[in-house]
Chains A and B, each alone.
Chain A
Amino acid sequence: MLRLLAATTLAMGLLAAPVLAQDAKDTLTIDLPNDAATLDPHLQWDTDSYTIYRNIFDNLVTRDAAGEIVPQIATKWSYENDTTLDFDIRDDVTFHDGSKLTADDVAFSINRIIDPALKSPQFSQFSPIDKAEAVSPTKVRITTKSPYPAMLAQLVKLSIVPKAYLEKVGDQGFNAKPVGSGPYKLVDHQQGVRTDLEANADYWRGKPPFAHVTFRAVPDVSTRIADLKTGQADLVRDVPPDQAISLKDDPSVQILSVATERVGYMYMNAQSGPTKDARVRQAIAYAIDQQGLIDALLQGYGKPVNIIGAPPVFGYTDAVEGYAYDPDKARELVKEAGAEGAKIEFLTSPSYNRALVEALQQMINDAGLDTEITSTDQATFLKRRQGDPANAGSVAIGRWSCACQDADGIIYPLFRTGSTWAKYSNPDFDAAVDAARSTLDEAERLKDYKTAYEILRTDVPGIGLYQDFAVYGANPHLTWQPTPNESMFVMDMAWKN
């Protein structure tokens, strides 16, 4: 038995050796905290997975560097009426197996996700769609149940899968050997270890920049950074700010960063505990020194915000005033509410920046409250945070992004009555966000969101803390402009000449 194991070990070593010997210039290596859960693009919704599979698949539409929604597989689109959206589809795209991409594949991809039988976690993003149908080989018609203004923003996330191939091999077979039309083809996927891709030489948008791309699963951030320093990895994401600062002087690494659509925020329970009193919530809002947090803990990788939203988001407004840092006023409000020494339960999990949590705890305590941090694992945290208001703690922080750059994806799920995140209910707010969700008129929507943000300012069921930056560590020879929606398309990267 032992000899067999030793032989297996040796064989594994020998098999892996040629991969290492490959010319580094030919291969881009990206370290991610986790491997893709699945390479079937419709079966999960997590950052590591889509970072990988979006290089294998094309999207219906995408965003350009300025954040505008631009064509990819669709060449143009138009609304037939408020609930019918027509897309013209390119006729020069082929999948990696040589078959042609048609409107049928696009319609199939949408209908597959909204079919309950697939149990797709992405269902919620596409559920307003009633159906998609191919009206000709180059035309797709999407019908929504009611007017859905964030439709295009959601379709940015739609990966197109080949209908014929998928029906032939089945869901399991497709997950094991996915075929897309994107710039890279899957060569090998060692679950939990690495995903190896090679360039699709016939890619319709031109020759991909690297012959090979490898994604490795490296769970520990210190190890990812060590990989970067030794050249074992060329790109890592989510570099902690303190590490980013110390790496800035390291010639073997470059730090790339961008202000994103993601917003750091603090939720306050308006339905239970001491924060049920609006004055206590206002006091907490006044007690927080945004700039102080950004300078000391985020090392400048963040920008102050006035609302729970950031400029890359549709619906963002600078016309609503934020809460300025005013500790005296905070103490006054706490006194006025008779809440001195009241217990504030601060829910958190290891997924959130502990230093930030403790700094906020200190600031809230300075206002005369008594904050206690409850840290659990993420599953337990979400169960409480999204559960019964009485058990959802008093405050918690988060970093919100819908990857759709639309306020509908932020304040609707956070504060609309009936949402699992909302520990708050105000019919006026509900009316505003409902109205903004049911019209395609952009001016009308902007007005509704301004109203909604004004209501949130008064009621403070939560406040914005900072606009989040995406911070990447990269090989100094890599050129790449990170985007506000935190996507990592290898097609946009290149080696410097």
Chain B
Amino acid sequence: MLGYALWRLLQAAISVFGVITIVFVVMHFSGDPTLLLVPQGASAEQIETLRHQLGFDQPVWVQYLAYLGGLLQGDFGQSVVQRAPAFGIVLSRLPYTIELAIGALIVAIGVGLPVGMLMATYRGTALERALAAVVLTGQSVPTFLSGILLIMVFAVQLHWLPTSGVGDVRFLVMPSIALGALSMSTFARMTRIAMVDELGKDYVRAALARGLSMRAVVLRHVLRNSAIPVITIAALEIGNLLAGAVIVETVFAWPGIGQLAIQSIQSRDFLVVQVIVLLISFIYVATSVAADFAYAAIDPRIRLAR
């Protein structure tokens, strides 16, 4: 078990290292922030001066080694745009991203699971078709559109919710729905497939033949057995929700790391981007490890196999 855990950690470290290297190289070859920082009228000489002062005139590999050297000492470097430590900048945005991810996850699971269960249980009925339309909508409407539509209806027309920004829980409602919609559909579909699969098995027929109600069979047996694939999806979705909120964060002026990532890439604020990439890689690794543990907790066979 320990050996396996160490192996997984090493794998994770190698992939994180690969990711930061690729991002570093790609970003540096597509221009540096100097031209974006100076006023339009700066002369060639002045641009070169600033580039030199900021160290962007060094060969990429020198900058890369310097970066790795700093990293080994726990120094993530400075943002050239904000003139502050890159790590602190990203960290200050993390609570917003987590808050939004939790909101979206509540929407996704709170709506997705019941919808999936109902669709599996009432297969072939009008209810399933109606719910399928909901799932399809959640899956196919792009967030930049659903976001603006939500704002237009609930903020501009009805004045129920604030249009954008952060604050009390009312600010969280629309971004959570916009961000959670896609995950909701994924949860609903996966739950439905897993349950339909289980419902067709012999033990369900046997249980029903014994005279148990459908309700009891579903709640006592089917749900537990359908949980494994749903947990896998949940782990992936948490990663997605934490890392993939760029558009929602932009539309709702939600100051999370997705928005910061886009702005930092656009302004070539290299070291901030690197911290974000590191963080997101870490989140993906952590959630997939957490999912492994969750399997073991739910399914004794997995525990035995190790």
> A: which residues have CB within 8 A of B?
5-6, 8-9, 12-14, 16-17, 19-20, 31, 34, 37-38, 40, 43-45, 116, 119, 121-125, 127, 171-172, 175-176, 190-194, 216-220, 222-223, 226-227, 229-230, 232, 377-380, 382-383, 386, 400-403, 409-410, 412-413, 418-420
Contacts and interface: CB of A to CB of B under 8 A. Distances in A.
A222 B166 CA distance: 17
Interface in B118-176: 148, 151-152, 155-156, 159, 162-169, 171-172
B50 A192 contact: no
Max chain A C-beta neighbours (<10 A), residue from B33, B39, B167, B250: B39
Given A191-B92, A378-B266, A420-B47, A121 B39 contact: yes
B166 A121 contact: no
Contacts of B172: 13
Contacts of A116: 49, 53
B36 interface: yes
Contact of A226 (B35, B156, B250, B259): B156
Given A13-B169, A14-B168, A220-B251, A380 B83 contact: no
B87 interface: no
Contacts of A125: 39, 41
Interface stretch (B4-12, B58-66, B93-101, B209-217): B93-101
B304 interface: no
B93 A409 contact: no
Contact of A9 (B84, B102, B266): B102
B204 interface: no
A12 B170 CA distance: 12
A223 B252 contact: yes
Interface in B223-281: 250-253, 255, 259-260, 263, 265-268
Contacts of A410: 41
Given A13-B167, A223-B151, A402 B40 contact: yes
B258 to A, nearest CB: 11
A432 to B, nearest CB: 17
A219 B259 contact: yes
Contact of A5 (B39, B42, B82, B98): B98
B37 interface: yes
B238 to A, nearest CB: 11
A419 B44 contact: yes
Nearest to B100: A9
Max chain B C-beta neighbours (<10 A), residue from A16, A127, A218: A218
Going nearest first, the 5 A-B pairs with the smallest beta carbon separation are A124-B42, A383-B31, A16-B167, A379-B31, A218-B253
B159 to A, nearest CB: 7
Contact of B53 (A37, A119, A383): A119
Contacts of B296: none
A85 B248 CA distance: 52
Given A123-B50, A223-B251, A230 B166 contact: no
A193 B263 contact: no
A19 B167 contact: yes
A124 B40 CA distance: 10
Contacts of A409: 41
Interface string B19-41: 00000000000111101111111
Contact of B38 (A38, A121, A219, A412): A121
B43 interface: yes
B81 interface: yes
Contacts of B96: 193
Contacts of B50: 119, 121, 123
Contacts of A45: 37-39
Given A40-B83, A379-B30, A402-B40, A193 B164 contact: no
B44 A122 contact: no
B156 A37 contact: no
A232 to B, nearest CB: 5
Given A116-B49, A227-B164, A378-B266, A413 B255 contact: no
A93 B285 CA distance: 56
B15 interface: no
B38 A175 contact: no
A159 to B, nearest CB: 15
Nearest to A408: B41
Contacts of B95: 8-9, 12
Contacts, number: 180
A126 to B, nearest CB: 10
Interface residues of B, number: 60
Contacts of A123: 42, 46, 49-50
A418 B40 contact: no
Contact of A383 (B35, B92, B152, B165): B35
B54 interface: yes
B46 A229 contact: no
Given A38-B82, A175-B83, A402 B39 contact: yes
Contacts of B41: 124-125, 402, 409-410, 412-413
Given A116-B49, A420-B47, A217 B163 contact: no
Contacts of B42: 123-124, 413, 420
A193 B260 CA distance: 11
A237 to B, nearest CB: 15
Contact of B36 (A119, A192, A232, A378): A378
Contacts of B250: 219-220
Contacts of B31: 379-380, 382-383
B163 A380 contact: no
A396 to B, nearest CB: 13
Nearest to A14: B168
Contact of B84 (A12, A20, A172): A172
Interface in B188-226: none
B164 A191 contact: no
A14 to B, nearest CB: 7
B172 to A, nearest CB: 8
A31 B162 CA distance: 14
B168 A13 contact: yes
Contacts of A191: 82, 84, 89, 92
A229 B154 CA distance: 13
Contacts of B162: 20, 230, 232
A203 to B, nearest CB: 28
Contacts of B171: 16
B289 to A, nearest CB: 14
A379 B273 CA distance: 15
A226 B49 contact: no
Nearest to A123: B46
A347 B251 CA distance: 27
A37 to B, nearest CB: 5
A127 B42 CA distance: 10
Contacts of B268: 379
Contacts of A379: 30-33, 35-36, 266-268
